[in-house]
Structure 1
Amino acid sequence: MTDDLIGTQAPTRRITDPEVAVAALERAVPGLAGHRRSEPAVVDWAVIEDGLGTALPADYKRLAEWYPTFALGDFLLVALPEPGEEHRLLRGIRYDLEGVVREWWEAGMSIGLRPHPAPGGLLPWAESDEGDKFLWSTSGDVPEQWLVTVASRNGGWWNYEGGAVQFLAEYCDGTLEPWALPPVRTDVTLC
């Protein structure tokens, strides 16, 4: 990895309604809706949020209530909590924070961004099978203001000024320029 921040992309309009963000993702990934739960899952968000010391963005939470963990194109894994298994997701996030993200910071490869719980610290929410990480930069008064930060295995770091679910939708529908990332196929695999 290099220490270069490629830049920041902004959506034409930031989607603030979690249901609208999920609907945009379902449009961008037509096969996703077939895996939608008939009723939203009841996730104990307090387990995860108390364990992390921060609330999480509403769009991510809404996605997790409607969908189990899934992969896009056998490339991008979106890990979501299952009811009663929230501690597993928390363990995975902590592992990433204590391992990869902290190692990047200690090695000077994180472009100066520190891991959560540092102010504005990086908090992982997805990853690719090739070592790319999708994180939140936790700056802002509320989680809905957080930027998505992409840490490509190819060394490119960049930000997206929208939520995680909108990022996924725009990455899949081609609206987003996939700097340092390959195009993603939109076939869905439940994990």
Structure 2
Amino acid sequence: MPATLRAPPGTRSHGLSVASLPVTAIDALVRLCPPPAVAWEEVERSLGLPLPADYKRLVGTYGCGVFDETVWLLAPGAPRADEDLLAQTAERAGVLESLWEIGEERPGELEEPGARVVPWAYEEGSGAFLYWLVRPGRHPDEWTVLYNEGRGPLWEAHATGCAAFLHAVLTGTAETAYFGFLYEVLAPAAHRFESAADVLGGCSP
């Protein structure tokens, strides 16, 4: 039997007994008037790619924002182009192509015909980006992570998805040569997520 909300002593309700209002009314309200959600079909159509389930759950849970003052999660509809998934996908493709055209070495993972990278996060203050390695014929949930240092040509490959990699970075278990500022300077005693609404002002989850 569902739990019920009890009115404080002396409280009078108007036409509805508060004592009989089930907690599950919130579920009915959500069904009647769904809360804001990302229009993933539209996003994926604009991107020209389906997206991994763990990423969509990350964005659905947190929205756009930053983990431990370090890893900014890109999200559709972010208040700035710097954090917007679609804007950064287009921008980073142009930046990387320009660098490769002038002789910077492409990561070996992109030697496979049809392989490409798509950004999903960046590291605060370093210019470094985290990408998915998108390989032809691979389901989005099989995409792995590539870290590209911000002010240099080096890439670091990680055989895991974005959510698992993010968890490993925050817990200090990622096998990486990067994130030194997080580990050595910030060294948070407790982990924290700050929404872009708090940091920048205004963000739609």
Query: What's the TM-score bracket when you normalise by the shorter of the two chains?
Result: 0.5 to 0.7
Correspondence for 1:178 among 176, 179, 182: 176
- State the secondary structure of the residue aligned to 1:91: helix
Q: Which runs of 5+ in 2 are unaligned?
A: 1-29, 183-187, 197-205
Rg larger in structure: 2
Question: CA distance change for structure 1 residues 155 and 101 in 2, over 3 Å: closer, same or farther?
Answer: closer
Q: Residue type matched to 1:97 in 2? A: A
Deviation at 1:41, TM superposition (A): 4.8
Deviation at 1:72, TM superposition (A): 2.2
Show the 5 A alignment for 1:140-159: 140-153=137-150, 154-159=152-157
| Structure 2 residue aligned with 1:89 | 85
- State the secondary structure of the residue aligned to 1:134: strand
* Whole-angstrom distance in 2 between the partners of 1:40 and 1:172: 29
Confirm or deny: 8 A CA contact 1:56 1:143 kept in the other structure.
yes
Deviation at 1:91, TM superposition (A): 2.3
Tell me: higher relative CO, structure 1 or 2? Use CA pairs within 8 A at least 6 residues apart: 1
Show the 5 A alignment for 1:55-66: 55-66=50-61
Deviations 1:67-123 (A, max 9, x none): 11111232221112249x9xx53123212222x222233233332555xxx712011
Show the 5 A alignment for 1:8-157: 41-82=36-77, 89-98=85-94, 100-107=95-102, 108-112=104-108, 119-128=114-123, 129-139=125-135, 140-153=137-150, 154-157=152-155
Q: Residue type matched to 2:149 in 1? A: S
Deviation at 1:175, TM superposition (A): 1.2
Question: CA distance change for structure 1 residues 163 and 41 in 2, over 3 Å: closer, same or farther?
Answer: farther
* Whole-angstrom distance in 1 between the partners of 2:58 and 2:121: 13
* Whole-angstrom distance in 2 between the partners of 1:189 and 1:42: 19
C-alpha RMSD of the superposition: 2.7
- State the secondary structure of the residue aligned to 1:47: helix
Deviations 1:41-74 (A, max 9, x none): 5211122211221101110011111111111232
Q: State which drifts further: 161-170 or 103-112.
A: 103-112
Q: Which runs of 5+ in 1 are unaligned?
A: 1-37
* Whole-angstrom distance in 1 between the partners of 2:180 and 2:35: 32
* Whole-angstrom distance in 2 between the partners of 1:158 and 1:80: 23
* Whole-angstrom distance in 1 between the partners of 2:153 and 2:85: 26
- State the secondary structure of the residue aligned to 2:45: helix
Confirm or deny: 8 A CA contact 2:62 2:195 kept in the other structure.
no
Q: Residue type matched to 2:129 in 1? A: K
* Whole-angstrom distance in 1 between the partners of 2:51 and 2:93: 16
Alignment of 1:189 with 2:194, yes or no, is yes
Q: Residue type matched to 2:175 in 1? A: E
Deviation at 1:182, TM superposition (A): 1.8
- State the secondary structure of the residue aligned to 1:97: helix
* Whole-angstrom distance in 2 between the partners of 1:170 and 1:40: 31
Percent of residue pairs bearing the same amino acid type: 26
- State the secondary structure of the residue aligned to 1:56: coil
* Whole-angstrom distance in 1 between the partners of 2:99 and 2:140: 23
